[in-house]
């Protein structure tokens, strides 16, 4: 098989080569050629424009991640299958559970340096922290990520409410309640923590606005590992600044650095400078194990294509 790995993921060509063995050819390209046909058995890329898609001649376009919003699927030849790959649900769930426990266990209230004086004082007036146990956790979006968060939160003894478009119970063992997004107001009023892990689309853009934030209890925690725009930017800033929302852990942002452009802050509002915000640079899924899992999956999908076996994670079958 001849595989072209193109764009951001090109530096991972040696990893794919090692997994596929010497009988397959893995070619790394920083970018698609400016014109002419793009021929291979398999193209690995997470960004394909209309013009690039129209010139691609391959049997499989393997997206090296979960999101394919930057792939012009409709402009690809009908014979090309498109597949994606998951595996980020594990590190994102761990990031989220860490954020939840950090919020409830509140270790920041204890002295950072436990010298003799601090020890005597801290022990005499031992402060109390809170428990995740028994608290209600609302999870908006109940796909791979939401379900892995729920599995861990249930083991913590949390009351898990899964909010989905339809509210129909999917994976019923993992949540205590299922609610439709139309019932979100009632869910928010009881949620001590709200985790956003839904896709960004016309139904979820701005889903959490000033009114929704006001419904949450004032000590609540918001964790966003979805896309920043699921939340209204100004409303989020004002709720946190005025302590109408307890705390936020934000891994996704409203403004991203762009090559060759001057640096921008992650938000037009100084969200990242508030003491009750933990701002992380879109790293919740960034683990070596994620790459291992994803490249193993992609190599096995390429070998399935080679062997004439059905592909896995097909998001657009050949037409």
157 binds its own copies (CB under 8 A): yes
Q: Identify the bridge partners of residue 279 per DSSP, sorted by sequence position.
A: 250
In the complex with its own copies, the residue whose CB is nearer, 31 or 273, is 273
144 binds its own copies (CB under 8 A): no
Of positions 168, 180, 264, 312, contacts its own copies by CB under 8 A: 264
In the complex with its own copies, the residue whose CB is nearer, 54 or 279, is 279
Identify which of 79, 72, 73 has the alpha carbon closest to the alpha carbon of residue 58.
Answer: 79
172 binds its own copies (CB under 8 A): no
277-279 and 25-29 as β-strands: parallel, antiparallel, unpaired? unpaired
Secondary-structure percent of the chain, ordered helix, strand, coil, rounded to 5: 35, 20, 45
Of positions 39, 79, 120, 186, contacts its own copies by CB under 8 A: 120
Of positions 172, 209, 265, 317, contacts its own copies by CB under 8 A: 265
Give the whole-angstrom CA distance, residue 71 versus residue 69.
Answer: 6
One-character DSSP codes across 122-169: HHHT------STT-EEEEE--SHHHHHHHHHHHHTT-EEEEEESS---
Helix ranges (H only) for 125-243 are 144-155, 184-188, 210-215, 233-241
Of positions 1, 10, 122, 314, contacts its own copies by CB under 8 A: 122
> Binding-site residue total for its own copies (CB under 8 A)?
58
81-83 and 314-316 as β-strands: parallel, antiparallel, unpaired? antiparallel
Q: Is 224 helix (H, G, I), strand (E, B) or coil?
A: strand
CA distances to 13, 45, 247 from 84, in Å: 17, 10, 34
x-or-dash pattern for its own copies, window 11-50, by CB under 8 A? Answer: ----------------------------------------
What is the closest distance, in whole angstroms, from the C-beta atom of residue 42 to its own copies in the complex? 26
134 binds its own copies (CB under 8 A): yes
Of positions 34, 107, 307, 319, contacts its own copies by CB under 8 A: 107
Q: Is 286 helix (H, G, I), strand (E, B) or coil?
A: coil
117 binds its own copies (CB under 8 A): yes
Interaction site with its own copies (CB under 8 A): 90-91, 94-95, 97-98, 101-102, 104-105, 107, 110-111, 113-120, 122-124, 126-134, 151-152, 154-157, 253, 256-257, 263-266, 272-273, 278-283, 286-289
């Amino acid at each position: 098989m001849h595989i072209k790995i193109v764009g951001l993921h090109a530096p991972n060509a040696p990893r794919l080569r090692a997994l596929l063995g010497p009988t397959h050819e893995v070619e790394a390209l920083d970018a698609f050629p400016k014109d002419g046909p793009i021929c291979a058995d398999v193209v690995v890329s997470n960004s394909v424009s209309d013009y690039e898609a129209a010139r691609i001649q391959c049997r499989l376009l393997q997206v090296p991640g979960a999101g394919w919003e930057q792939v012009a699927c409709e402009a690809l030849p009908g014979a090309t299958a498109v597949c994606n790959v998951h595996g980020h649900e594990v590190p994102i769930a761990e990031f989220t559970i860490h954020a939840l426990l950090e919020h409830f266990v509140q270790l920041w209230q204890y002295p950072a340096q436990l010298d003799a004086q601090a020890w005597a004082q801290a022990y005499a007036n031992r402060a109390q922290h809170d428990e995740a146990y028994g608290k209600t956790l609302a999870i908006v979006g109940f796909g791979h990520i939401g379900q892995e968060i729920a599995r861990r939160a249930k083991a913590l003894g949390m009351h898990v409410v899964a909010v989905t478009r339809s509210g129909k119970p999917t994976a019923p063992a993992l949540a205590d309640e299922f609610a439709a997004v139309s019932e979100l107001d009632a869910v928010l009023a009881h949620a001590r923590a709200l985790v956003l892990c839904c896709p960004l689309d016309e139904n979820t853009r701005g889903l959490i606005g000033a009114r929704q934030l006001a419904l949450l209890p004032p000590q609540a925690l918001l964790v966003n590992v979805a896309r920043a725009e699921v939340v209204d930017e100004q409303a989020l800033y004002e709720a946190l600044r005025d302590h109408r929302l307890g705390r936020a852990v934000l891994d996704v942002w409203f403004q991203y650095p762009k090559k060759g452009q001057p640096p921008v802050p992650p938000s037009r509002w100084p969200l990242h400078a508030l003491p009750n915000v933990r701002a992380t640079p879109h790293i919740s899924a960034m683990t070596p194990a994620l790459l291992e899992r994803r490249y193993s999956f992609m190599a096995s999908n390429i070998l399935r294509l080679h062997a004439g076996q059905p592909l896995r994670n097909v998001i657009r079958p050949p037409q």
